[in-house]
Structure 1
Amino acid sequence: MTIPQVKLAGKDVGHIGLGLMQLTWTPVPPPEEQSFAAIKAAADAGATAWSSATFYGPQDDQMANVALIGRFFKKYPEYRSKITLVLKGGVGAGLKPDGSKDFNRECLKKAKELLGDYEIDVYLPARLQPGVDPIEYFRPFDELRQEGLFRALGASECSAATLRRLHSAYNLAIAENEISLWSWEKEIQDVVAFSTETGVPVFAYSPLGRGFITRTWKTPEDIPEGSFQRHSPRFQGDNFYHNLKLVDVLDEIAAKKGITTAQLAIAWVASRGPNVIPIPGSSNASRAAANTESGNIKLTAEDAKEIDAILAKFELKGGRYADSEHLML
């Protein structure tokens, strides 16, 4: 291993993990061999905690991401024992929450089959169901854990108050929330505080602002049809150009340190807490390795102070999701 380690579900994993969503749940997925090269590069650099889901694929092939991992393990069986897999589920037709035991049991059985009977380390509902008590909603998932379909239970997009309740009832292995230089609201800071207090790791997804911090697109019109970003208020119209001013400043700080803005962003997320695990994703092998190597970048007190001052006075425009979508409950 080449980067610092943290504990996840009883295993040592790299402090930088790997998000796999964009390899299959995107308008134009990359070629499989390109995806494999990126996965391998990240793992070789130390990204041994992976995030996938039972719905990261098109409507007619929602298990595409899990199947991709299965084919990777078949081609590179030596990686099976190195990886800790966190799998989101609990999403049914129309991408609506489905916490029923029968539905999730079938999802887990299918996932294990596609993975080549790989033991799933952590399974977690991708979202809570509004109006349902979280403790009750999680009960079928914990019963599936007791059946031996996965080792540990996690939670996604939950508030710190909800996480405390769930952790008391179910001994959570991980929480998953969006954390980045443009997703650092008070509710997210509270989740990190929960992690620091309890030792429960946090998978920090979209640490690069869904590609915004790395200037993946120069204008809102550059974003491909069918992409999530097309519907995110932060990527739309005048909001896009206003928010780019934050990236301008981050570029300057990264240049002074002799690192990329992506590495600065990932290192900053990792510095939020001892158990915060950024999970950047990339289909480019060299970028995947560079992202993972951010785990060795230490920000100085002066760096942190400068960035904190920028975030305190910069007012982002637009929410993370469309107003109609529920978030942290």
Structure 2
Amino acid sequence: MSRPVAPSTVTGKPVGPVGFGLMSFTLPWENVEPSAAVKVMKTALEQGANFWNGGLFYGTPESNSLHLLKHYFEQYPEDAEKVVLNIKGALDATMTPTGSPEAIRASVEEALRILDGVKKIDIFECARVDPEVPIETSVKALAELVSEGKIGGIGLSEVSAATIRRAHAVHPIASAEIELSLFTTDPLNNGIVTTCHELGIPIAAYSPVGRGWLTGKYKKVEELPDHPFARIWPRFQAGAFEQNLKLAGAVGEIAKRKGVTLPQVAIAWVRRQGAIPIPGTTKAERMVENCADVQLSEEELEELQQILKEFPVQGGRYPEQLSGLLDA
């Protein structure tokens, strides 16, 4: 069941075993001062989390994760070559995919403009597949940007196994970003993980702690963040919430028995699937916790599998209005 995590196919340097998602710094429900964010980012690198994942749409056009990255690397220019930077883009203001060659080029140019030379883009990925543009057309446009030296490699996000194969046939794919956790095991059964391992494509697993479920901090619906996003997620709705709490609680019992934290078990499980977890956090101490080298035995993996069978997750990954572009 355990598979090694591949090194970056772009830089050749080892990545992980845990990466770092920059989304947490830009969501309205958890704003963080730049100085505090820089501390977390520095801690991430010190702990070996050198695969950093950001996006042009993580925040506003005037203040997003690219601006934060620029701020960091202006302070620590010596860290630029230590980080494998993965950037998502090619979404318009309505969060609609824009996979045409012109739109992709414009998105990459905007990312480069914001970074202003402080850090190269090692991997660029379209955040979602544009249903109006063949994936081959989008990948060919990205391949031209690779040949021009504007990006180091091509990533994919929320794609099916078939799309991965079609894209990889046009140009080698440097990484595939998917949602993978004990709350989202679909990629293990729909061919995505198998295809990535077969083709040697590193997997970046976002939401490895199930959007907070596997942190243990949610006990009641009333405890959810006071933000519309938290209120419309299907797995947090009344009925589903109570059932999903049972899954989190059962995993928590394993963590307690091991003398580790619930998130550490969740992240260790993702690593055992051969993926690079990219949890986001706003606290340096949480980053240290996330990067701890927690190992799961075969017996513990089997126990977790039984828990998944006993307490199946209730509710979809995204609200219905946002789910149409998943696994495209």
TM beyond 0.5: yes
Matched AA of 1:124: E
Matched AA of 1:91: L
Matched residue, 2:232: 231
Matched residue, 1:304: 301
SS, match of residue 214 in structure 2:
coil
Matched residue, 1:18: 20
Q: Deviations over 1:85-141 (max 9, x none)?
A: 000111112111012333333332332233241211000110012254322233322
What is the rounded CA distance, in whole Å, between the counterparts of 2:13 and 2:303 in structure 1?
35
Q: Deviations over 1:25-61 (max 9, x none)?
A: 3334111122111111111000000000111103x53
Matched residue, 2:178: 177
Matched residue, 2:68: 68
CA contact (8 A) 1:160 1:187 kept: no
CA contact (8 A) 2:204 2:276 kept: yes
What is the rounded CA distance, in whole Å, between the counterparts of 2:102 and 2:187 in structure 1?
37
* Percent identity of paired positions between Structure 1 and Structure 2: 37
Give the unaligned 5+ runs of structure 1: none
CA contact (8 A) 2:247 2:312 kept: no
What is the rounded CA distance, in whole Å, between the counterparts of 1:125 and 1:53 in structure 2?
10
What is the rounded CA distance, in whole Å, between the counterparts of 2:90 and 2:27 in structure 1?
17
Matched, 1:328 2:324: no
Give the unaligned 5+ runs of structure 2: none
Alignment map for 1:171-320 (pairs within 5 Å):
171-185=172-186, 190-226=191-227, 228-273=229-274, 276-293=275-292, 296-320=293-317
- TM-fit CA distance, 1:206: 0.3
Superposed CA RMSD? 1.9
Question: After the TM superposition, which of the residue ranges 308-317 and 45-54 deviates more from structure 2?
Answer: 308-317
What is the rounded CA distance, in whole Å, between the counterparts of 2:97 and 2:254 in structure 1?
41
What is the rounded CA distance, in whole Å, between the counterparts of 1:26 and 1:216 in structure 2?
19
Q: Deviations over 1:60-104 (max 9, x none)?
A: 53x511000110111122211110000011111211101233333
Structure 1 residues 188, 11: CA separation in 2 closer, same or farther (over 3 Å shift)? farther
Alignment map for 1:110-189 (pairs within 5 Å):
110-117=110-117, 118-185=119-186
CA contact (8 A) 1:177 1:188 kept: no
SS, match of residue 85 in structure 2:
strand
Matched AA of 1:282: T
Q: Deviations over 1:193-242 (max 9, x none)?
A: 11221211000000001111113333333333445332210111121121
Matched AA of 1:234: R
What is the rounded CA distance, in whole Å, between the counterparts of 2:216 and 2:53 in structure 1?
23
SS, match of residue 13 in structure 1:
coil
- TM-fit CA distance, 1:147: 2.5
Matched AA of 2:316: G
Matched, 1:38 2:40: yes
Structure 1 residues 181, 189: CA separation in 2 closer, same or farther (over 3 Å shift)? farther
What is the rounded CA distance, in whole Å, between the counterparts of 2:262 and 2:303 in structure 1?
15
Q: TM-score, normalised by structure 1?
A: 0.91
Matched residue, 1:54: 56
Q: TM-score, normalised by structure 2?
A: 0.92
What is the rounded CA distance, in whole Å, between the counterparts of 2:86 and 2:256 in structure 1?
34
Question: After the TM superposition, which of the residue ranges 297-306 and 175-184 deviates more from structure 2?
Answer: 297-306
Q: Deviations over 1:273-318 (max 9, x none)?
A: 2xx100011001011111012xx22211111111111112322110
- TM-fit CA distance, 1:176: 0.4
Question: After the TM superposition, which of the residue ranges 235-244 and 202-211 deviates more from structure 2?
Answer: 235-244
Structure 1 residues 174, 223: CA separation in 2 closer, same or farther (over 3 Å shift)? same
SS, match of residue 53 in structure 2:
strand
SS, match of residue 94 in structure 1:
coil
- TM-fit CA distance, 1:189: 5.4
